[in-house]
Structure formats: structure tokens, C-alpha cells
Chains A and B, each alone.
Chain A
Amino acid sequence: EAAVTQSPRSKVAVTGGKVTLSCHQTNNHDYMYWYRQDTGHGLRLIHYSYVADSTEKGDIPDGYKASRPSQENFSLILELASLSQTAVYFCASSDDRGDTQYFGPGTRLLVL
């Protein structure tokens, strides 16, 4: 089965601070995704990427940047963290856009 890892697994950040969430996959997948999960909202797509050095906006990109320096690595960056960005963040990868997505274990972010 696909292996997607995330770090850190949890983080406490201060409002206005910079936060970087990292994702690493060992499946040789081209597509990678960042989602956030909030109670009552399910999963919402923030950014995605289908090739190294390129990222695309998802449904809720405001306040987030993404970076894909290599096929294996995909980062989510919060330049100025805000209270509303408290959530659980999931990274996923897939071989193609219509294929099964494999998820990492998530990062629980608390912004104070």
C-alpha cells in the first residue's frame, strides 16, 4: 500500500507566525494534495500538484502557499498563521488525477 508521511504530527503556533507542514511519499506518484479537515465540513482541498516545481490552487487556497521541490515532497506553508487555520491537515498522493488517493496520518495544528 501507498506510504505517505507527514511532519510534524501536531503543532502549536502563534497568530502571525509562520508554519510549514511537510509531506513525503514513497510511491512514485505524480499527484499530491493538501486538504484541511474541520468538523462539519469534511475535507476541503487547499492546493495540489501534478509535477515537481509546480503547484495549483484548490478550493480554499487563501492564506496558504504550497511548494513541491521534488516528486516525493510537498509542503504547505502558512506565512501568517491565523486562528481560523486551526484544523487537521492531510496530505495525499495519487498516481493520476482519477486514481485512488492515499492519505497521510494528518497534522493537528492549533493556532493560538
Chain B
Amino acid sequence: GEKVEQHESTLSVREGDSAVINCTYTDTASSYFPWYKQEAGKGLHFVIDIRSNVDRKQSQRLIVLLDKKAKRFSLHITATQPEDSAIYFCAAHSGGSNYKLTFGKGTLLTVTP
């Protein structure tokens, strides 16, 4: 089955800098890649996604890139703010009759003022 590896378990950046979180997946049939943010003690909150028919998507300060050849996708957070500090999870969905998302293990992002 699908496996998603999230390469950075922790990431620390200075406020105003950019943060990049990288994920790779194994199933070439995967076609949907959402990202979630989890603040301390809270549930997962959807932040942005990308589908396999595009290679870039932006929503305000969030940019997602998808490289289907390398089976890699990444989340870029520009002009980071302290409130961006959280755990970020990437996930992949294989499409078709598949029912589930496969999650990475999460990246703890700390933005220091």
C-alpha cells in the first residue's frame, strides 16, 4: 500500500523566513495531496491541498509543489509568523476506489520571533 514519508520531524525558523516541509510517496496512482495543521492539544485543520493535474498551488502564504516524477510534494510557508508554529501533516490519497488518506508522521514547526 501507499507509504508517505515526511522528511523533517522538526523544523525551526526565524519569523519572516520561509519554511519548507518535504514529503515523498510511493504509489504512482496517488492523485490528491492535502496538508493539515495541528496546534497543541487540538485536532487537525485542513490548510491546503493539491491534485495531480497541477504542479503548483498557492493560498496566501502557503505554496504546495508537486513533482510527480520524483513522487515528492512540499509545503512552503512564506513570511512565517509565530502563529504558524504547529505540527504539519502531509497525506496522500490513491484515488479510484481507495478509501483512505495515508499520513506522514508530522513535522513540528517552530517559528521564533
Contacts and interface: CB of A to CB of B under 8 A. Distances in A.
Contacts of B34: 100-101
A77 to B, nearest CB: 20
Interface string B75-113: 000000000000001000101011111011110000000
Interface in A58-112: 58-59, 90, 92, 97-98, 100-106
A48 B100 contact: yes
A41 B42 contact: no
B95 A43 contact: no
Contacts of A56: 99
Interface residues of A, number: 24
Given A90-B43, A90-B44, A42 B95 contact: no
Contacts of A50: 99
Contacts, number: 51
> What bracket does the count of chain B residues touching chain A fall in?
20 to 34
A40 B9 CA distance: 9
B36 A103 contact: yes
A93 B101 CA distance: 12
B96 to A, nearest CB: 8
B102 to A, nearest CB: 9
A45 B34 CA distance: 16
A104 B46 CA distance: 11
B43 A41 contact: no
A44 B101 CA distance: 9
Interface string B38-80: 0000111110010000000000000000000000000000000
A106 B42 CA distance: 7
B43 A106 contact: yes
A97 B98 contact: yes
B100 A58 contact: yes
B45 A41 contact: no
Given A50-B99, A98-B32, A40 B105 contact: yes
5 contacts: A41-B105, A98-B93, A103-B43, A104-B43, A106-B43
**4 interchain residue pairs of minimum CB distance:** A42-B105, A103-B44, A103-B43, A105-B43
